[in-house]
Amino acid sequence: MFYRESGQFKASYAADQAVFPIRQDQYGIAAILLVAFFVIPYMGDEYFFQAIMVPVLIFSLAAIGLNILTGYCGQLSLGTGGFMAVGAVACYKLTTAFPELNFIIVLLLSGVITAMVGLLFGIPSLRIKGFYLAVATLAAQFFLSWLFNKVAWFQNYAPSGTITMPPREVFGVLVTGAASNAMHRYLFCLIFVIVLAMAAKNLVRGPIGRSWMAIRDMDIAAELIGFRPFQTKLLAFSVSSFYVGVAGAMALSLWLGSVETAEAFDINVSFQVLFMIIIGGLGSMMGSFLGAAFIILTPIVLTNVMVGSLGFQAVTAKHFEFMFFGGMIIMFLIVEPQGLARLWQILKEKLRLWPFPY
């Protein structure tokens, strides 16, 4: 009853092309941002930030990255973990080699480096598509994992084989390292992710996004009306890898602190991020956030309920989690391939007409 767009007229194309054209949506998003910035920082504790909010934000960014490539441009990738590893290692190498370099610049440069690596592995997409490409990205996953594990230079010759993020400040506030405050890390993640997510949204709603979707939906027709498939796909590969790389860099610096690259960003991470965009919604920015929240929160809830309340063994809960995720994937692909985001949209459409069925 309150969710109506009647009476809201758009007098210009600019207003018609806005991200949230309906006023109620604008209020909603403003409310969410207010809570995220002004309520959560005072309500949450260390565990809440470290185990839930920070990983959800970081994986949202990774999911946005994969969604650009898979959801918008239609190129399946199973190498997300590998590209996150590139971002993490790039961040580590940059910040240890140039300690004075601003941390924000370090994160962005890590993304740029990952984008270049992504470009390299995107070259086969010139001739192949679908799961053929998936195999090419698997090559990236396994080769990169191996590379960072075996070549000691990438770990600054640390005997343990792990990379550890040194403490870094942003505008005088410590955001990385063991001594940093979890709430500060959360706020930094929040701002960074929101800015990058807006940039991604701008890309996909404009001419570049249309070129990606054209390639996804009908590559031959796209080529015949003047898109260059190769350039378009490579752009998707590099932008996607940029986001995934920044997410990897953030995972190292703002979340995990210290990782063994090959283990922290293995093939399971690739699947995890893929599941996020399938469940959240292929080709939806909102879905990337919803999917990341779903995939991060589900194991926590499952463990709490099954182990904490019902007395199952932790390993049983783990196996159940496998089945649950697998089942969810199949269910979403069958029932709603556009994921949670589409369910949300349907709810809004129903709400718009409520209490009438049509």
Q: Which is nearer to another protein, 46 or 217 (CB)?
A: 217
Q: Does residue 334 bind another protein (CB under 8 A)?
A: yes
Q: Does residue 77 bind another protein (CB under 8 A)?
A: no
Q: Which is nearer to another protein, 74 or 257 (CB)?
A: 74
- Distance separating alpha carbons of residues 110 and 90, to the nearest angstrom: 5
Q: Does residue 214 bind another protein (CB under 8 A)?
A: yes
Minimum distance from CB of 40 to another protein (Å)?
27
Q: Which residues are registered as beta bridge partners of 259? A: 163
- Distance separating alpha carbons of residues 308 and 80, to the nearest angstrom: 32
The residues, ordered by sequence, that sit 6+ positions from 3 with a Cβ below 8 Å of its Cβ are: 24, 348, 351, 352, 354
Q: Which of 17, 96, 181, 304 binds another protein (CB under 8 A)?
A: 17
- Reading the block at residue 231, the tokens are 């350039």
Q: Does residue 321 bind another protein (CB under 8 A)?
A: yes
Minimum distance from CB of 3 to another protein (Å)?
18
Q: Does residue 20 bind another protein (CB under 8 A)?
A: no
Neighbouring C-alpha atoms within 13 Å toward the C-beta of 195: 9
The separation between CA 3 and the C-alpha centre of its own chain, rounded to angstroms, equals 29
Residues 220-279 that bind another protein (CB under 8 A): 220-228, 235, 239, 267, 271, 274, 278
Q: Does residue 210 bind another protein (CB under 8 A)?
A: yes
Minimum distance from CB of 224 to another protein (Å)?
5
Structure-token match 């580590």, residue found: 92
Which 3 state secondary structure label does DSSP give 259? strand
Tell me the Cα Rg of the chain: 21
Q: Which of 119, 194, 328, 343 binds another protein (CB under 8 A)?
A: 328
Q: Which of 183, 297, 329, 343 binds another protein (CB under 8 A)?
A: 329
Size of the site for another protein (CB under 8 A): 72
Q: Which is nearer to another protein, 35 or 333 (CB)?
A: 333
Q: Which is nearer to another protein, 97 or 334 (CB)?
A: 334
Residues 162-201 that bind another protein (CB under 8 A): 199
Q: Which of 22, 170, 298, 320 binds another protein (CB under 8 A)?
A: 320
- Distance separating alpha carbons of residues 217 and 173, to the nearest angstrom: 46
Asked, as a colleague might, if the bond just before 355 is cis with ω within 30 of 0, I would say yes
DSSP string, 206-222: SHHHHHHHHHHH-HHHH
- Distance separating alpha carbons of residues 120 and 14, to the nearest angstrom: 37
Contact of 181 with 174, CB cutoff 8 Å: yes
Q: Does residue 311 bind another protein (CB under 8 A)?
A: no
Q: Which is nearer to another protein, 103 or 121 (CB)?
A: 121
DSSP string, 115-177: HHHHHHHHGGGGT--THHHHHHHHHHHHHHHHHHHH-GGGGTT-TT--EEPPP-EETTEE-SS
Residues 111-150 that bind another protein (CB under 8 A): 123-124, 127-128, 130-132, 134-136, 138-139, 142-143, 145-146, 149-150
Which 3 state secondary structure label does DSSP give 258? strand
Minimum distance from CB of 50 to another protein (Å)?
27
Q: Does residue 105 bind another protein (CB under 8 A)?
A: no
Q: Which of 1, 11, 14, 314 binds another protein (CB under 8 A)?
A: 14
Q: Which is nearer to another protein, 99 or 130 (CB)?
A: 130
Minimum distance from CB of 19 to another protein (Å)?
9
Q: Which of 52, 116, 208, 343 binds another protein (CB under 8 A)?
A: 208
Q: Does residue 5 bind another protein (CB under 8 A)?
A: no
- Number of Cβ atoms within 10 Å of the Cβ of 115: 26
Minimum distance from CB of 178 to another protein (Å)?
30
